Amino acid sequence: MHLTSCLVALSILPALVVGQLSGSVGPLTSHATKTAKKTCNVLNYGAVADKTTDLGPPLASAWAACKTGGTVVIPSGDYALSTWVTLNGGSAWALQLDGIIYRTGTAGGNMIFIRNTDDFELFSSTSKGAIQGFGYEFHKDKLYGARILRLYKITDFSVHDVALVDAPAFHFSLDTCTNGEVYNMAIRGGNEGGLDGIDVWSNNIWIHDVMVTNKDECVTVKSPSKNILIENIYCNWSGGCALGSLGADTAISDVTYKNVYTWSSNQMMMIKSNGGSGSVSNVVFENFIGHGNAYSLDIDQYWASMSAVAGDGVQLSDVTFKNWKGTCASGTSRGPIKVICADGAPCSGVTISDFAMWTESGSKEWYSCRSAFGSGGCLRSGSSHTSYSVSTTTLSAAPSGYSAASMKENLQTAFGTTASIPIPTIPTSFYPGATPYSKLAGA
């Protein structure tokens, strides 16, 4: 093998042996190989780093020249994007974003939409590349705009070492993708719903070493999804991670969340639905640390924020929660264990073990369960999974071992919706004591 091929093989090796993945992830050839074949610098196609000239047409032209093998380069500098770019097709190409793209257009849709391609990489060689969405310009008037980045039907790819900031709507969506790796990213949005961090509905995806700040989804799996591994995630004043919302014909299986640190967020993990059908099976939530969150472990199949969907409920089975530590904001207002399952499709095979969380206010907390079977917390045992009404267990003493480490980058206040959000530096740590799988490219 050539050296570049060896490096690619080494880079995907961890994905072959850990978690729920079904095979290798990431691009088939390195960006160095693509760059050596052909380089298409947007400056040669009319781009100007003046924060005024529209980058859209030059980026599309550079991509057209490199889409069958090569690297499109956006060098360091400040660029304006006033017309959105859809890059549809191509193979064995990379997009090197070393500059900063500032949204100046006002359309909806997707600022950058990449679809129907394979062997693809989007990255910053300096770890300083970013897209600034200036979403506050919409949100101050209670409006929404475009997503920042959407990938659709991409195979064998990676996205890494870039920051996505203040999206007018969602920050990053992975839709019907396969064999992908997402890592070393910082996402920072306003304190408002509808500004999701990373949403994924795909197959064989590894997301790791990512920090998200927003008011909505941190890193969330939606249906349909299979073979998803999510680890070393830092939800830093966010909505928190989730599965859902789940509706008709849900199909989610073989998902692992591992090493998730959640600070001052809505929840540490939520599985949310209201009616619906289909199933969620073989999912694991391991090594969670939380501080100051409203909810902690939260399964809610009567979620009031979602309109009811036809069906008896999504069937949850073989769901494991293991090694959860830390504190919740108020154990009497919102207890750290809430497993509320659908009466028409009781949960089965739920396991809660090594769970030690305590309240930050007051001296009591509660666990609540409904139509939920398994072991741990307030779950009922037995093989007869018959629906039952809400059952509550009250704890009057702190469980042993609940104390957990904190991260130094914890935000003390949320970002609002009326002023620009600064572009963050990508962290070098995303979970206490865990070393990121890959060093920052800029290092």
Residues marked as catalytic: 216, 291
Q: Could you tell me if 87 and 113 are in contact, meaning their C-beta atoms sit under 8 angstroms apart?
A: yes
Quote the CA–CA distance of 353 and 295 in Å, as a whole number.
18
Helix (H, G, I), strand (E, B) or coil at 301: coil
* First vs last C-alpha separation in the chain: 26
User: Three-class SS string for 317-380?
Assistant: EEEEEEEEEEEECCCCCCCCEEEECCCCCCEEEEEEEEEEEEECCCCCEEEEEECEEEECCCCE
- Supply φ then ψ for residue 135, to 5 degrees: -60, -25
Beta-carbon count within 10 A of 149 CB: 24
Strands 147-160 and 110-123: parallel
202's CB contacts (< 8 A; 6+ apart) are: 174, 175, 176, 177, 178, 180, 225, 228
Which tokens in the block code for residue 272? 């949310």
User: Three-class SS string for 229-241?
Assistant: EEEEEEEECCCEE
